[in-house]
A and B are shown apart, each in its own frame.
Chain A
Amino acid sequence: MSSQLLHEANAQPNLTPMLDMVFQLITFFMLVINFKTATMELSLKLPAIGSARPVDTEGHDELLVLNIDSQGNLLIYGERKDIEEYVASEAAVSSLVARRTKPDFKLGDELSTTVVIRADRATPFRLLNKVISTCQRNGFRRFALKAMNKEA
């Protein structure tokens, strides 16, 4: 008799609405997650200008993101890398890709990869110029200088 009473007093909450809500939250986070942010060094303070346009790859999806801090260090996934070595290795990879589509591609020809430069606003030009000229020597010609939009 007493055990039957206990059994009847068991409360079972309806978990279905909670599960619905959790699934909705999971769906939201799955849709907004962007793994590209991993390549960006978010501690950098980008310059702010008026004519910065939203990112437009113009059909070129190959991007080489270079984060440059105020001391001119190249940061890739949070780690410091040697500029010459890193750019040369990326240029070699881009050349291999270019040879697949253009068999007559020669070393030193223009690469289709766009170099995205995310530099701190305090970076002196002599350090930035070292990065740009290294990229140019390795065949990169398309550049995108990242900045925050003043009007935004």
Chain B
Amino acid sequence: MRRKRRARIHNEVELNLAAMLDMAFQILTFFILTFKPMPYEGQISLHMPPPQPITKVDNGEAAGADPTNPNPVQGLNTLIITVFGATTGQIDGLAIGESTVAGLGELEKRVAALLSDPGSGFDQVLIQVGSSVNYQSLLDVVDVCTRQKLADGKNLTKLNFVELPGG
């Protein structure tokens, strides 16, 4: 009996873990050195076909053609927002159509009112942007537009940019 126990002890196998540990440390070093935490980024998704003429010519009506029509702008489905830029890249002025707007807060109120009005017929926004306006300022305006809902309750997704002539 004693003999048997001693024989069993001598047959024990001891694995040399040092080599495996070396390799594991090398792999760990590789992963630590190549690790770059992904920044938490968001996005605004847009469907942007090339800029089109800003009026629907098929629905358009020549000025004065129908004096009984109380809403001569019906048929225009693009809301035009103009962003003027200062040399610093900041917003220098805003306008909806030809009417100036005091700031982003007022722009939001007026755009919301125009887009949600079933009678206005606007379903897309064209932003005319001054060439010096920087990306942050542009996205501030885009942010205001993409938060709005159309008269049918859907979010506004049709949005495009053009460079302001001479801007």
Contact = CB atoms under 8 A, between A and B. Distances in A.
B164 to A, nearest CB: 9
B27 to A, nearest CB: 5
A118 to B, nearest CB: 8
B161 to A, nearest CB: 6
B29 to A, nearest CB: 10
Given A125-B131, A125-B133, A125-B163, A26 B24 contact: yes
Contacts, number: 155
Nearest to B45: A144
Given A49-B140, A122-B136, A146 B38 contact: no
A1 B124 CA distance: 96
Interface residues of B, number: 47
Interface residues of A, number: 56
A33 B38 CA distance: 9
B111 to A, nearest CB: 13
A137 B50 CA distance: 7
Given A16-B17, A29-B31, A51-B143, A125 B36 contact: no
A19 B17 contact: yes
Given A22-B21, A42-B36, A125-B131, A33 B31 contact: yes
Nearest to A116: B43
Interface string A7-46: 0000000011011001101100110111011001010001
